[in-house]
Structure 1
Amino acid sequence: MSTPRIAIAGAGIGGLTCARVLQLHGFDDVTVFERESSPDARQQGGTIDLHADSGQEAVRAAGLFEQWRALARFEGQEQRKVDHVTAALVEHEPAEGDFRPEIDRGQLRGLLLDSLAPDTVAWGLGAASARPGEITFLDGSTDRFDLVIGADGAWSRVRGAVSPAQPHYTGVLFVEIRHDHDEALLELTGQGTMVADGDGLMIWSQRNSGDQIRAYACMRAREDWRPSHAELLDLYAGWHPSLTAFLDGEPIHRPLYSLPVPHTWEHTPGVTLLGDAAHLQPPLGVGANLAMQDAAELALAIAEHGVRDGVPAYESVMLPRAVSFAERTNPALLKMVPERPIRV
């Protein structure tokens, strides 16, 4: 009996984890379809913390735990909070244990890519739409599979095969600014994450590998507002200069989106979703972990029960878990970044 033909839309960490675990269990007809032209077509985002009870378990299932540990930054678990007016340290959580060490998303993705069989990923061939057991690609071609897995993120093209839901704007805007080897900002950030908040605004900075920093100005704002550096400085007037220094640089506009809560669907043979395609939530430390947990559990369920019975078994666990997290993370985001008297 031949192994099932499985298509995974999206070569993010969720899709690649699923492909890796499937291949470890003897599924050799697995293809990951990715619209980007190569692994290096764009930067892969900042640092992510892998939790011991979810993301790390997925890395174990993928047989990559020791390789991940060699790259993980355990010191990145440090958390710092400073006063927005004085920049004085007001809360400090030192890096202890190994529950949620950090790793750059690009490093983790590279580890997963290198673990796959040659030619598993079809670069430059993204999904335009899907139906159960079928993908129509951006070039107009169509192909059939025993299972189509949508791991294609927030704006998933596969999601429409099981659900009409579309992401909605949360009302919260992150403006990202990147810094390279800035000693003052590195010292203020510490080894992990630093946050300062006040007057309905927040600055959040994270150390990445190689002494890189990604900082985020967080606020309630119009979805289409694209602030200049001068506008950001005006908005953060009264903040300590060492904190507004995080705003110096090229701003990258990142409005935050979420899927409706609860987001569920009736099981549809031949297609399923994982990660942000299934349960897009605010970036509060659970998204990447849930995507990898979804991916490993889906692959293991298929390995144990086959495609027909494994997919509904996976969905019966994944969907309630995703709803539970979404019911907490969406209100938490709005509490973290409260409404201001004057909204930009």
Structure 2
Amino acid sequence: MTNSTPRIAVVGGGPAGLTCARVLQGHGIEVTVHDGDAAVDARDAGGTLDLHADSGQIALEDAGLIDAFMALARPEGQAKSRRDQHGTVLTEFTPAPGDEAAPEIDRGQLRRMLHEHLRPGTVHWGHALVRAVRTGDGVHRLEFADGTSTEADLVIGADGAWSKVRPLVSDAVPQYLGVCFLDARFDDVDTRHPAIAGIVGDGHMFANDGAGRAVIVQRNSNSVVRGYVAFRAPLDWHVRAGVDLTDRQAVRAHLVQEFSHWSAGMRELITANDGDYVPRTFHALPAPLTWDRVPGVTLIGDAAHLMAPFGGHGANLAMLDGVELAHAVKEEATLGEAVSRYESAMFARSGELATSANGALTRFFATTTPDAPHLPPDHAQEHRNYLARAAAYRAQQAERARQAQRAAQSPGH
């Protein structure tokens, strides 16, 4: 870059923001990350992620962290099964030996690993962004809830679904997709819940009844299974039903009625959880979402392309976003050129995947017979596709590097 000391601020200390910061630091570029959490492990980071060879793993390779990831990852967690509401197995997938196209890792483990590989003090914890204000010439002032503020030449919004940075570039807001889910967990599952352990296996189990209700459960590390009891409902379903979401027994009684037509064995996934049900919702940004370039600011991850979680693209795209932006900042002459290059590639990639993911959710939770049935993907072919796209991506990177080298060596450069 012509300006070798830009002030770069990342808002959001999740996988996207931390990966971006790691690669920027690897390029010798100073960066500060601001996050509202009190510490890296101050809250439950959620369940498990599969990091794809063509996106999340590329990001970790470029960050120099692929070995650290593989030391924590669970390739066996790629296993998947699909059942109906009676527990009948409809499809199964078991990864072949050596298959590392999309191994699993707990979200909390990934976040801690990324944080541990940043320079001490990079992340300013307890910095919840209140607003970002333009001050002119592409500079923005970030104002935090603790009363502090800072200015940056480039603000990178990695602050998720309800981004406080997004309004600087777009008036788009997440829209509710009509599906609620309750996050539940099962601890010491192999000993305390052996029947559930058998249903879930080593990876994921998906079950739906064709009436807008589903259970999705995932094996996590340390003998934990996390489950998602999902159903079509308005956002205020609990108010209409008179259910106190903090009353575990009241929620459980409601779910027993809602899922009364499910078999007793499958209802164990709904009623035998350890701890409370944590309410969550499915929201998505309009897809494809683009915006005109705004000097001094851009978005990565869910802040840029929040989508339904079907396909597992969210975190993978978020990390690849962070890496590609960091590379562009290093390689382009100005911040403006870097952001333009990054956004052009990100818009093209994320729009198609977001549209596909949102459509998959709609089909999975359909309450009427669709024109085309929702069929589970061919996971073996899906893994082959990840690997093929990863090879193509690396080939494109190599060609771009050769072109840059030839341009640098040309007469008059």
| TM tier relative to shorter chain | over 0.9
Matching residue of 2:406:
none
Give how far 1:253 is off: 1.0
Matching residue of 2:283:
257
Greater mean deviation of Cα atoms: 302-311 or 275-284: 302-311
TM-score by length of 1: 0.95
Does residue 271 (structure 1) correspond to residue 297 (structure 2)? The answer is yes
Give how far 1:2 is off: 4.2
Matching residue of 2:258:
235
Picking from 9, 14, 26, the partner of 2:28 is 26
Does residue 298 (structure 1) correspond to residue 325 (structure 2)? The answer is yes
1:221, 1:283 → 2: CA distance? Answer: 18
2:84, 2:128 → 1: CA distance? Answer: 45
CA contact (8 A) 1:155 1:167 kept: yes
Does residue 207 (structure 1) correspond to residue 234 (structure 2)? The answer is no
Matching residue of 2:308:
282
1:197, 1:107 → 2: CA distance? Answer: 29
Structure 1 unmatched runs, 5+: none
Matching residue of 1:123:
125
Matching residue of 1:225:
237
CA RMSD of aligned residues (A): 1.5
Q: What aligned pairs does 1:153-172 form with structure 2 within 5 A after superposition?
A: 153-172=160-179
Matching residue of 2:66:
65
Q: What CA deviation, in whole Å up to 9, does each residue of 1:138-166 have, x standing for no partner?
A: 23443211100000000000001111111
2:157, 2:90 → 1: CA distance? Answer: 43
Picking from 216, 219, 242, the partner of 2:228 is 216
Structure 2 unmatched runs, 5+: 244-250, 370-413
Q: What CA deviation, in whole Å up to 9, does each residue of 1:44-99 have, x standing for no partner?
A: 110000000000000001100111011110000101112312x1322111123111
Matching residue of 1:317:
345
Number of residue pairs the alignment of both structures matches: 339
2:103, 2:226 → 1: CA distance? Answer: 17
Picking from 169, 187, 194, the partner of 1:180 is 187
Structure index of larger Rg: 2
2:234, 2:196 → 1: CA distance? Answer: 28
Greater mean deviation of Cα atoms: 321-330 or 8-17: 321-330
Q: Secondary structure at the match of 1:32?
A: strand
Give how far 1:340 is off: 6.6
Write the letter of the residue equivalent to 1:328.
S
TM-score by length of 2: 0.80
2:133, 2:316 → 1: CA distance? Answer: 27
CA contact (8 A) 1:131 1:158 kept: no
Q: Secondary structure at the match of 1:210?
A: coil
Percent identity reads: 45
Matching residue of 1:43:
44
Matching residue of 1:5:
7
Q: Secondary structure at the match of 1:217?
A: strand
Q: Secondary structure at the match of 2:22?
A: helix
Picking from 89, 109, 112, the partner of 2:111 is 109
Matching residue of 1:142:
149
1:64, 1:141 → 2: CA distance? Answer: 33
1:209, 1:130 → 2: CA distance? Answer: 38
